[in-house]
Amino acid sequence: MANRKEIRISGFGGQGIVLAGVILARAAAIYNDTEATQSESHGAESRGGACLSDVVISDERVDYPMCLAPEILVSMSPEAAIRYVPTIEAGGLFIIDEDLVPDPPAGTYSKLLKIPATRVAEASFKRVMANVVMLGAVIGIDPLVKRESIEKAVLASVPKGTEGMNIAALRKGFELGEAAAKA
């Protein structure tokens, strides 16, 4: 039986939600020698509307490319948290940006982890790198892919000239995720 892992990253348009999913899927499929798919959904608005990125990672061919019941739900906006928390697998992991989702909705998840991704990005990097901080936190919590794989995927995905800062943001995310998982 295939080892299939479903991850849903959600927020609003303009936060880099789709890019975060693309980076994770690229890390898994190209640099981690696993199978992966990425699909996305967003509102008609290019910025501010609801947005999600589904990533499926498996050690076998992915037979269905979308999340049915994600084991990991990441929410970077209150609207996304409310909208997608009912989709999480019973007993799943719910990861939120603690400043953007101050009142996480109840659900069937077994664990809630709060990451200050946007606050850290604003203080140490750039606000637009909150998605990369959060992605690093996800890997720090659950090593879905090797760290070197996600770093290579970040380097291949971000604008030229921002690679160093994005890798630093990713690594800070690793630390935040490890700390949250231990708490």
Query: Mean pLDDT of all residues in the chain?
Result: 93
**34-83 per-position pLDDT tens digit:** 999 999 987 655 566 779 999 999 999 998 888 999 999 999 999 999 99
Question: pLDDT at position 1, please?
Answer: 45
Cα–Cα nearest to 26, from 172, 149, 148, 163: 149
C-alpha distance from residue 66 to each of 47, 53, 180 (Å): 23, 9, 27
C-alpha distance from residue 144 to each of 38, 78, 85, 90 (Å): 14, 25, 21, 19
Which regions of 19-71 does DSSP assign to beta strands (E)? 35-42, 50-58
Q: How far apart are CA 140 and CA 179, in angstroms?
A: 8
Of the listed ranges 19-23, 48-52, 96-100, 126-130, the one predicted with least confidence: 48-52
Nearest 5°: CA angle at 99, between 98 and 100?
95
Q: How many CA atoms lie within 13 A of 151 on its CB side?
A: 11
State the DSSP code for 84: H
- Relative to beta strand 35-42, strand 50-58 is antiparallel
Domain 4-182, CATH: 3.40.920.10
Beta-carbon neighbour count of residue 84 at 10 Å? 23
